[in-house]
Amino acid sequence: MSHPPVQNRDRLHVQDHAPGWEGEQYETPEQEAADDYAALKVHVTNPVEVTTGATQFGAYETIVVPPATVEQLLPRDPLRQFAYITPIDAAIVIGTTLEQCQAAGNVAAAVPNPSGGYLPALSTTPPIRHNEPVYCVNTSAAAACRVTVLVERGSVQ
């Protein structure tokens, strides 16, 4: 039994009936109604400049810092626009030099004299706008700490 080919509305291809497809509908009434739309003329009065693709992107990562260990959270990055750091499980101390984070006072009970910026667990830094490296030390001598790092990058203006 031969069926004539089904011409899909407003499409460039022709679809033949294949065995097992007899009697089935190829487009629902909702699909047909969706195809019957009218073009709408749009006039943009205030264009907004946007960037996409390789010129602007983000990087999001969670780093596990072992107890009493220093880790580099952010490298030197001339394209970094904003960065945010959030310690999850324990307090951390952040700094822009490795030596600053390696100070003995950064791993102590309650960290009375941190050398760097002290971040309690579940707190987030204000936007980090500089492009220098950022290091951290886990102030806990007993438990690892997850640290979430969010970075927005873009082209140099």
Nearest of 156, 150, 155 to residue 58 by alpha carbon: 150
Whole-angstrom distance, CA of residue 26 vs CA of residue 3 = 14
Cβ-based neighbour number of residue 125 at 10 Å: 16
| SS3 category, 95 | strand
Residue partners of 153: CB distance under 8 A and separation at least 6: 56, 57, 58, 59, 77, 79, 80, 81
* CB distance 139 to 111 below 8 Å: yes
Along the 157 residues of the chain, how does pLDDT read in single tens digits? 555 555 555 555 445 555 555 555 566 667 766 666 667 787 778 777 665 555 668 889 999 999 999 999 999 999 899 999 999 999 999 999 999 999 999 988 788 889 999 999 999 999 999 999 999 999 999 999 999 999 998 876 5
Rounded alpha-carbon distances, angstroms, from residue 104 to 34, 143, 152? 67, 18, 32
Secondary structure tally for the chain: helices H, strands E: 2, 9
Domains of the chain: 53-154 (2.60.120.770)
**58 has which bridge partners?**
152
| Distance of alpha carbon 13 from alpha carbon 22, whole angstroms | 19
Angstrom distances, CA of residue 121 to CA of 10, 66, 115, 118, 128: 58, 15, 17, 10, 18
| pTM score over 0.75 | no
